[in-house]
Structure 1
Amino acid sequence: MRLPLILSAAALSLASPALAAKLPPLRAEYAAVQTLVVNSAKTEAKLAHSRGKERRETTVDGLANLLLLRPDKAKAWVVQPESGMAMELTPMDPEIGIDPSALATLEGEPAGKEKVAGLDTVKYRVQDVFAEGGGFDGHVWSTEDGIYAKVEGTATDGGEPVAVRMELREVKRGRQDPALFELPAGVRLMDMGTLPDRVPAPPATPGKP
């Protein structure tokens, strides 16, 4: 599942001027189940969130995968616990998908109140661009303390527009263990070419090509 956060500004060339109010800041701590649909592809993740820091646990082809978002360090990691390997990403890497801390920088216009996942939310019309040059055109449903319970709209990676829908369920407020957002002990930090499907060829035997 890949959805770049660096979205093409050209996709928003017909957008209205930036709206007046920022989306609510990310002040909440909670756990939830996240459903993400990009076009027709759907994934689910077990989520832990703490004021912008985020941990997503998924299973891909029977293997556990973690995504750790650390906006406070301007870093993110993809972790494969079974292999004991992790790869560092930049905050704008396509692996990240929807990043609440990036959405929090956008401006929106309140468009009514709705219940989402049992939470009282305000629906915001968002049609704005990121400082890095991308943007988002759609709606974000947020609580007052910044639980983005639902996101729905259109994005692009510089090619065809992509339909995006994210929704939370089973939201449980409460303090999250800070260790959830750290790299697990014993994990090796690898280069881009060293994760499965990117494993480099073994060195040649001396005297052979």
Structure 2
Amino acid sequence: MRIRVFVAPLVLAAAALLAAPRPAAAETVPGPQTSYKAVELVEVKGGRSMRATVYRDGLRERREMQTQGQTVTIITRPADQELFMLMPGMNAAMKMNYERAMRDLDSGDLQGFDAEPVGEETVNGLATTKYRIAGDNGHGTTFDGYAWVTDDGIRVKLAGTVSFSDGSSSPIRITLTEVARGDQPNHLFTLPEGTRVMDLSKMPDAMQGGPMGGMIRQ
């Protein structure tokens, strides 16, 4: 069986190039404290965008999206240091190098990072605190912009500019809609029984579609 190795979807690359230095008098952006389901839209330069259905249960995350004409699901389990790219239509999954992936992805929810609160706003029907964030993630990627986060850690909106060590940059905008808080079934964060798994975790970046941040740089 031939399995095409997908370039990591745009939503993965864009979700969290956000780690910032800790400015004076800053406060910590709330990390995820509730389970929920939402629709996420990621938009970057050139009019490129990707829509995904996101399920969160603590730090566990499932993203379902359409890319290159196929359904792709990303399952992230930080407690197990595991990230899988699941292709349900092929009954197959690829296990990615977790540390390498999170170097590019980060958490998407700004957990543990400091930022300057600048006001309170309602975004898509949710009360949020607007935070000013500007800094380097320690891997040559910087973010300059704002994040709108609920008190229980749901990052409802993100808007700013991502810049990379190679000199490329892109505006980025991430918004959540149809947010529904509530427990998510455990099976969403596990691979279906009988799934064939290709372990790419020990292969170089080039065998995993290149750095996940590359989608923004195109």
TM-score band, normalised by shorter chain? 0.7 to 0.9
Bigger Cα displacement from structure 2, 51-60 vs 149-158: 149-158
1:142, 1:150 within 8 Å by CA — same for their partners in 2? yes
2:179 alignment counterpart: 171
Seen in structure 2, the aligned counterparts of structure 1 residues 61 and 161 have a Cα distance that, compared at 3 Å, is closer
Aligned length: 191
2:48 alignment counterpart: 41
Distance 1:95 1:166 in 2: 19
2:93 alignment counterpart: 86
Seen in structure 2, the aligned counterparts of structure 1 residues 70 and 124 have a Cα distance that, compared at 3 Å, is same
Distance 1:54 1:76 in 2: 10
Seen in structure 2, the aligned counterparts of structure 1 residues 4 and 179 have a Cα distance that, compared at 3 Å, is same
Describe the SS at the equivalent of 2:89.
coil
Residue 87 (structure 1) shift: 1.3
Deviations 1:27-60 (A, max 9, x none): 0111111101122210101111112211110112
Bigger Cα displacement from structure 2, 182-191 vs 38-47: 182-191
Residue 135 (structure 1) shift: 4.0
1:191 aligns with 2:199: yes
2:6 alignment counterpart: none
Residue 62 (structure 1) shift: 2.8
1:31, 1:173 within 8 Å by CA — same for their partners in 2? yes
Distance 2:140 2:35 in 1: 29
1:23 aligns with 2:37: no
Residue identity (%): 32
Residue 16 (structure 1) shift: 8.9
Seen in structure 2, the aligned counterparts of structure 1 residues 140 and 5 have a Cα distance that, compared at 3 Å, is closer
Amino acid at match of 2:199: D
Distance 1:115 1:176 in 2: 25
Amino acid at match of 2:188: L
TM-score (norm 1): 0.78
Residue 83 (structure 1) shift: 1.2
Residue 100 (structure 1) shift: 2.3
Seen in structure 2, the aligned counterparts of structure 1 residues 78 and 84 have a Cα distance that, compared at 3 Å, is same
Residue 123 (structure 1) shift: 0.5
Amino acid at match of 1:99: S
Report matched runs for 1:94-133 at 5 Å. 97=105, 99-101=107-109, 103-130=110-137
TM-score (norm 2): 0.75
Structure 1 vs Structure 2 CA RMSD: 3.2
Describe the SS at the equivalent of 2:95.
strand
1:150 alignment counterpart: 157
1:5, 1:93 within 8 Å by CA — same for their partners in 2? no
2:22, 2:113 within 8 Å by CA — same for their partners in 1? no
2:189 alignment counterpart: 181
Amino acid at match of 1:41: R
Seen in structure 2, the aligned counterparts of structure 1 residues 178 and 104 have a Cα distance that, compared at 3 Å, is same
Amino acid at match of 1:27: Q
Deviations 1:92-146 (A, max 9, x none): 4289756325x21321111111111211000000123336664422111000010
Seen in structure 2, the aligned counterparts of structure 1 residues 37 and 6 have a Cα distance that, compared at 3 Å, is closer
Distance 2:26 2:117 in 1: 10
2:216 alignment counterpart: none
